[in-house]
Amino acid sequence: MSEEKKGQLAIFGGKPTFPKPLHVGVPNLGDRDRLFARIEGMLNRKVLTNRGPLVVEFEERIADLVGVKHCISMSNGTVALEIVTRALGFEHEVITPSMTFVATAHALQWQRITPIFCDVTPGGHHLDPARIRALVTPRTSGILPVNLWGRPVNIDTILSVAGQYDLPVVFDSAHAFGCSYKGKMIGGFGKAEVFSFHATKFINAFEGGAVVTDDAELAEKVRLMQNFGFEGRGQVSHVGINGKMTEVEAAMGLTSLESMDYFIRHNKGNYLAYKEGLQGIPGVELMEYDEDEYCNYQYIVIEIDERIASVACSNLLEVLSAENVDARRYFNPGCHRMEPYRSYFPNAGMLLENTERLLDRVLTLPTGTAISVDEVNKITSLVTRVIESGRAVRSRLRARAGTLHNIAEEGVAKCADFR
């Protein structure tokens, strides 16, 4: 390779910075020996599901950690959302953000409940309490805010607004296990909260989720509904489905919990390295965490202001991808621009100005225990290089796209001649 190419970005012919892709959301793994020992015990007991001892222990640990009376483990976070909203009698319309993973909206739509998308706060990432009032109608049955990135929404204000309309609130806290709001652990707010323990989450159970609540009546109903409505052997007292967590999922969940402090230390180390490495880069803003609160630091989120950086978020993503940095544009294009919602509400974007602006700017970068501080430093150096040469990079990307388009058109023409 020539000296000139050695100094080039990979997308323009240079060698990629990393030999293999660095992904967002590589699973955090705990002690394998502890996991295998739990699985061995499970196999010896021949209890694989139906709330075996590992599931019971996992539920007790989760309830204790977040400070609630009841934890009902689930097969995944989406099912947990579906069951708890059904148990609370949500129907017709529920107010929720579009700036979230599509499962939040799907959990409602699956039950023929219409998600009414509410904008985020100006300059923020979370549901705007000031916008909720304008969306409340006689058909509104609840509010489903999202504690995105592990950073809580303005919980007090949302609960206050909900109280004025006597609307129950369920928090989608899939990102927020191990985090706190004003010193109180996420999990104990609203009627209930939902966690995800998917493989990409801070604490994972391969798959898995949970409903946590202090409401004993709600907890009893949710537990019935996640096991076909069975109350005792052969006695069905409520409509239900199969939403149970398996023993092997609980084995992984318990093993993850044992390494929770290590995961936090590692994630925070990466976050601080990103914070230092990205500081002062024009047009690049790192989403910061409140270090006075408990936090899992699981997500590294940046915003790109292309007016200042001279490159768009999509340009940076393209360059990083060629360097084997698998950054992600969460949650572009937004739930309101996905099906079936874009067909139901084709003009929804007109009411979601802040959301649309944010979705064009947000990029998440690799972190987690699979990523080292040294790799973080290389990623921030790459971002610095791209921004420092922003106009030139953007110009070369446009030229490259034009060349690739011409090559594709020539290929189509040759195929037509051949026919």
Are both 141 and 127 inside the same structural domain?
yes
> Is there a domain that residue 414 lies in?
no
**Side chain identity, residue 202:** F
What's the structural domain count of the chain? 2
DSSP state at residue 134: H
Tell me if 105 sits within 8 A of 164, measured CB to CB. no
What's the pLDDT score for residue 7? 63
Whether 412 shows a pLDDT value over 90: the answer reads no
Whether 378 shows a pLDDT value over 70: the answer reads yes
Interatomic CA distance for residues 367 and 26, integer angstroms: 8
> Is there a domain that residue 348 lies in?
no
Report the pLDDT averaged over residues 188-199.
98
pLDDT per residue over 308-355, tens digit each? 999 999 999 999 999 999 999 999 999 999 999 999 999 999 999 999
User: Crossing angle for the helix pair 313-322 and 373-388, nearest 10 degrees?
Assistant: 130
> Is there a domain that residue 65 lies in?
yes
Q: Choose one of 237, 258, 279: the last residue of a domain.
A: 258
Tell me if 253 sits within 8 A of 205, measured CB to CB. yes
- Which residue in 297, 284, 281 sits closest to 369, CA to CA? 297
What's the pLDDT score for residue 5? 52
User: Crossing angle for the helix pair 53-66 and 247-258, nearest 10 degrees?
Assistant: 40
What's the pLDDT score for residue 1? 40
Among 116-120, 131-135, 241-245, 409-413, the least confident range: 409-413
Are both 107 and 154 inside the same structural domain?
yes
pLDDT confidence band for 3 (50 / 70 / 90): very low
- In 57-216 the beta strands, taken as DSSP E runs, fall at 70-74, 93-97, 114-118, 140-143, 170-172, 180-181, 184-185, 192-196, 209-213
Are both 11 and 77 inside the same structural domain?
no
Are both 150 and 217 inside the same structural domain?
yes
Residue 282, domain extent: 3-24+260-327+366-403
Tell me if 150 sits within 8 A of 176, measured CB to CB. yes
- Residues above pLDDT 70, as percent of the chain: 94
| Mean pLDDT, all residues of the chain | 93
Are both 231 and 273 inside the same structural domain?
no
Interatomic CA distance for residues 93 and 115, integer angstroms: 6
Interatomic CA distance for residues 285 and 275, integer angstroms: 9
Are both 80 and 190 inside the same structural domain?
yes
Among 53-57, 195-199, 210-214, 227-231, the least confident range: 227-231
**Side chain identity, residue 338:** M
Interatomic CA distance for residues 24 and 274, integer angstroms: 14
Whether 66 shows a pLDDT value over 70: the answer reads yes
Are both 254 and 266 inside the same structural domain?
no
Whether 6 shows a pLDDT value over 60: the answer reads no
Distance in angstroms between the alpha carbons of the first and the last residue of the chain: 40
Are both 382 and 314 inside the same structural domain?
yes
pLDDT per residue over 17-36, tens digit each? 999 999 998 999 999 999 99
Whether 402 shows a pLDDT value over 90: the answer reads no
Which single residue is written with the structure tokens 């989760």?
Answer: 62
What's the pLDDT score for residue 83? 98
pLDDT per residue over 261-274, tens digit each? 999 999 999 999 99
pLDDT per residue over 263-303, tens digit each? 999 999 999 999 999 999 999 999 999 989 999 999 999 99
| CATH code of the domain in which 285 resides | 3.90.1150.10
Interatomic CA distance for residues 9 and 339, integer angstroms: 36
| Length of the chain as a residue count | 419
Interatomic CA distance for residues 2 and 96, integer angstroms: 54
Distances (CA, A) of 123 to 99, 175, 282, 357, 358: 13, 20, 17, 9, 8
pLDDT confidence band for 409 (50 / 70 / 90): low
Are both 222 and 85 inside the same structural domain?
yes
| CATH code of the domain in which 162 resides | 3.40.640.10
What's the pLDDT score for residue 395? 82
Which secondary structure element, helix H or strand E, spans residue 86, and what is its range?
helix 77-87
Token pair in block for residue 74: 């689930």
What's the pLDDT score for residue 389? 87
Report the pLDDT averaged over residues 100-105.
97
Tell me if 362 sits within 8 A of 313, measured CB to CB. yes
Q: How many CB atoms lie within 10 A of CB 162?
A: 22
Which single residue is written with the structure tokens 């209930």?
Answer: 192
